[in-house]
Every structure is written in structure tokens, then in C-alpha cells.
Structure 1
């Protein structure tokens, strides 16, 4: 009898241990759900820095995510990669989102990014205000955030868009080179390239921050939003970690990394001033409406898109 009871107890213990092992395996399996890769397009501007930090500091890996960062020198190259299916998302702007919708390509804005744009004049140019640029060459990339910011700066300074001669130079490095070689009077540039221009003698006329403009965004294809929702959520958690890192670490601790991995010019070392990065948030409706109105006024889009047509707020507060 005692032997039978002992066998029964041992059997129950073994079953219990087997059950615990099974539960641990199930729990482990749930934690190890394989996330899909994300292909993300970056531009040579400060908006892209948190993504570079998240990659190089291992924050994406901490979230179980693999992100491939692809670098582009112009908005046209970036948008072509998006439309060809080579990217899931990209550092972009509200104008590009509206153009995508108008062209039948389905993307959505998922959050703002933190950028900085400056209208600068070359070192030999005597212009000290917007008024002094009347009739002069100003380099831009046409129908982009650069064009939009330029118009806002010019209007705020008392001129119209027609009062300056816009010279279209899509690639940002080429725009900087022409400015520094004195081939154009002025240019609108994103940081860090605007910082390079100033270091080499250019003068700032006005910045996007001074006008309260923040049209830079992160956008994803609707296909990616539907099929990679968990991946995008993980990406934003990593992004938040990168923002925390940038808020507490001196730039000396990562500037070499940005030069090496981000393709930033070596000249930014010691002079680059970064914006105050914020956790990802949705754009304000007024800012989206202003961009849509600007595009319609120039007959670049026909439809008056609503905020909900262009923005998906599920990933941010």
C-alpha cells in the first residue's frame, strides 16, 4: 500500500514538473515571436539622428527588431524607393505625404520628426534680410519641405515667392556646394548641412524654428502599417530610448558615430547644434491644414485632404 502511494506521489510530481516546463516553453515562445524587418529611408538631416542612435546603440535589437537604414541625398530618390516597395517608411514631410495620396500611392504619417531648416546666404553676399534677396537666386528642391519653408520665410519677410529666383537643386550636398562656391546667392538647407555653410562663412537669414514650423514627419506605407503594426510599435519604443540618450549624453560621445554611420560631413564636429528632440507625437491639425492649403494654392494637388486622410495616430499619443 505504502509503495503504491509513493509511486502515485512521484507520478504527480513528475507531471507537475512536466507542466511547468511546458508553460515555460510556451512563455518563452511567446516572448520570442519573430518580428519582421523594417526598411527605413533617411535623409542627411538632423531628423534622422535618433534612428541612427537607436541602430548603433542597440535599441532596435533590445526590442527584438531588425531595422535596415537606407540613406538618400534627395527627396526624389527617397520617394522613388518608397513607391517601388524598397522601403516600409521614411523620414519625410507633410508635402510628400499629400503628393503620395494625390498620386494614388497609399502612405500615412505616423508621427512628427524633429528637424531644422535655415535660409542662408553665401559668405560674399551682402544681403542681411529677406528684402535684400529680391531678384536673387535662392537654391531649393522644388515642391518639397524646403520649398515650403522658403516660401514661409520669404512671406514673413515681406516678399512674395515670385520676388526671388528659385533655382532647383534637388540633391542637398550639391546645393551646399553651389552656395559655398558662390554660384548662388542663398539656399535653404536642413541641418547639419546648414551648420556647415555657417561654419564656412554663410549667414543665416531665418530658420524654421523662428517661424514655429515643423513639417517634418515619419511616414509609412499603409501596407506596412497593416502588416507590421507590432514592428512599428517596437521601432517607436526604440526611438524613445534614442531621444532619452540624446537628451542626457554630450555630443562628443556620439558625433564620430554620426559622421561614420550617418554620412554627416566631418566639418560638423565641434559646431553642430542639435534641436531638442521630443518623443514621437502626432502633428497638429493646423500644421497639416497649412501645408494642404499651400499645395492647393499652387495647384499642386486638387483635393483638400482632411487630417484623417493623411495622419494615422495609432502609434503615438
Structure 2
């Protein structure tokens, strides 16, 4: 009974973290460069972040004052719920946001278009409630139309018969694995490390995926009206990545400062990706993800890299 109460309390705490950072967008510190009275203010840019390790360079750039150096007033808005992020984009509460290739592909058939400008580096470990025996049937928690579903196939399909259970909310997905209702599930860092605190085994897979599945995307309106601000945003990101490559602790500090209520115990244990110089996905990798997405949704997407990405901001660096 005591263990049950402890588990219940953990889920309540984790749910509160997600609700307070996701269900209602939480504005982070905005850089406001000094301007003389009577002069125009510095152009602004509002970008949605997710509670994931991808966000570390963006928050480090904010803390280091790199956006200000590049002449743009950047506001980072934190989300943990993809639907809330999408709503903010469609209602023009933000100019752009962290997203992923599957989402970018599926929205390409809608009237509301997003354009990818920068790959970001994430981490999606597998959490298991116990040993996974090859050649057996295992149950796995994931989201259906998502990069986690793609990764589940990439991680396990050649060694296991995988029975997928679609659970969108991270706390419910985590509890299903912790309670051994399901054998395993995919969770983004740093939430995978929170699961490891509950004695789940955290598994990573070298070289999967071969390129980043995550991306920064801006609305067409923002691309048209805020080209210079977006260019400055990318320059600041490049500077932040170089800092983190030299000192990875800067990424851990940025995440601990930006994501509310992360346990101090995961500061050194959360898995960080290798942060790369600014780039966009290759044509071959994009085609692979388009084909996979078509198989999941039953929809044909006649899109390529010129339809999905605007490379000028990366190419200018």
C-alpha cells in the first residue's frame, strides 16, 4: 500500500509538471535590448519550445544574450503538449516552434503550412520494465502518428513481434510501463531519465535514427514578414551549439533552468544528444520518413525537400 501511494504521488507530481508547462503556455524570459526613446523597438520573434533536450541550445543562446547580439528580440514559449503547440501556431500566438518531420509532412496537405528551417537534436530512449527477450511478442506504448512510432519500428521490428498500444499522454504512458501493464515505451529526454528514477531500464540505440527527426518550423507568414529576425535566430543557435560542443554542462544547466520542476537527480544522468552544426534533413532521409508516414496514415504526400524546407537560413551560416 505504501508503494502504491508513492507511485500515485509520483504520477501526480509528473502530471503537474506537464500541465503547468504544457496546457497553458509559459512565457520564458524575453530579451529586450535597450533602445533610445523615440526609436523603433528591436524586431521580435516568438518561438515555441518543447520540454525536450533539443531546446538546450536555444535556452543557452537566451541566457548568453546571443539573440540580442544578433539584433532580434526573441521570446521562447515552453510547451509539453503538441496539440497546444499546434494551436498556438495556427492562432499566430507564436511565429514558429519545435516540431518533427512526421508532423511537418502530415500538415503539408492542409491550408495551414509550416516550413522547416533547422534540424534540432533530440533523444528518445526506450524504457523497459524488465528484460526484453528477442523473438518474443512484447507490448509497447507509443503515439500513433509520431516520430516515437517510427522509432519503435526502427528499434525493435527486426528482433521482436511488437504489439503497439497508443497512449498520447506521457504520464499515462510511463505508468503503464512502470506498473508492468506494458513491457516498454519510448519517451523523450529528459522525461526518460525521470522514468529511470523509478527503476526502469533506459535503452538507447546507436545510429538510430541516422539523421534528426526533429525540426524548427515557421509559419509562411513569419517567413515572409520576419526573414531578418529568423536569420538572427539561426545565427544565435549556431553560436550556442559551438558553446555546448565545448562544454556539454551548459546544455544541462540551460535545461534545468528552463523546464520547471525537473528533479535535480537527473541533471547528470539525462541523456544528451550530440548537438550538430545547423543543417536540414537530406533528401533521402526525408523521402524515407514521407514513405513511412504514408503507410501509417494511408495518405499520399506529394512533397519533397523544396516543399518542406527553406534552406536559406542554414545556407547563410
Residue pairs, 1:242-261, within 5 angstroms: 242-251=240-249, 255-261=252-258
Partner of 2:85: 78
List per-residue Cα deviations over 1:208-247 (Å, max 9, x = no partner): 7444242111111111111110000100111111112212
Change (3 A) 1:250 1:135: closer
TM-score by length of 2: 0.79
Equivalent residue number for residue 126 of structure 1: 131
Q: Matches of 2:57 and 2:281 in 1, distance apart?
A: 18
Are 2:200 and 1:202 aligned?
yes
Instruction: Provide closer, same or farther for how the CA distance between residues 259 and 128 of structure 1 changes in structure 2, counting only shifts above 3 A.
Output: farther
From 273, 292, 311, the counterpart of 1:313: 311
Could you give the per-residue CA deviations for residues 233-263 of structure 1, whole angstroms, max 9, x where no partner exists? 1001111111122122251x56344223223
Change beyond 3 A, Cα 1:36–1:260: same
Q: Could you tell me how far apart the structure 1 residues matched to 2:251 and 2:103 are?
A: 30
1:134-159 CA-partner distances (Å, limit 9, x unpaired) = 252x111220111111122233x245
* Corresponding residue of 1:57: 64
What is the match of residue 282 of structure 1? Answer: 280
Structure 1 residue 116: Cα displacement? 1.5
Match of 2:52 in 1: 45
Q: Which residue of 1 aligns with 2:228?
A: 230
Residues 1-317 of structure 1: matches in 2 within 5 Å? 34-122=41-129, 125-129=130-134, 131-132=135-136, 134-136=137-139, 138-155=140-157, 157-159=158-160, 163-207=161-205, 209-251=207-249, 255-263=252-260, 265-266=262-263, 267-317=265-315
Q: Structure 2: 5+ residue runs without aligned partners? A: 1-34
CA gap of 1:76–1:209, structure 2 versus 1, over 3 A, is farther
Shift of 1:114: 0.9
1:181 CA displacement = 3.9
Query: 4+ runs of 1 displaced by more than 6 Å?
Result: none
Aligned residue-pair number: 278
Contact 1:91-1:219 at 8 Å conserved across structures? yes
- Compute the displacement of 1:280 (Å): 1.1
8 Å CA contact retained: 1:52, 1:262: no
Quote the residue 2:3 is aligned against. Answer: none
For 1:293 and 1:187, how far apart are their aligned partners in 2?
23
Deviates more, 1:61-70 or 1:198-207: 198-207
| Residue segments in structure 1 that go unaligned for 5+ positions in a row | 1-27
TM-score (norm 1): 0.79
1:173 Cα deviation (Å)?
4.3
**Could you give the per-residue CA deviations for residues 78-136 of structure 1, whole angstroms, max 9, x where no partner exists?**
222212221211111111111111122111111211111122212xx23254x44x252
SS in 1 for 2:271: coil
TM-aligned CA distance change 1:272 to 1:301, over 3 Å: same
Query: Deviation string for 1:2-41 (max 9, x for gaps)?
Result: xxxxxxxxxxxxxxxxxxxxxxxxxx99xx8744321111
Higher deviation after alignment, 189-198 or 95-104? 189-198
CA distance in 1, matches of 2:255, 2:301: 40
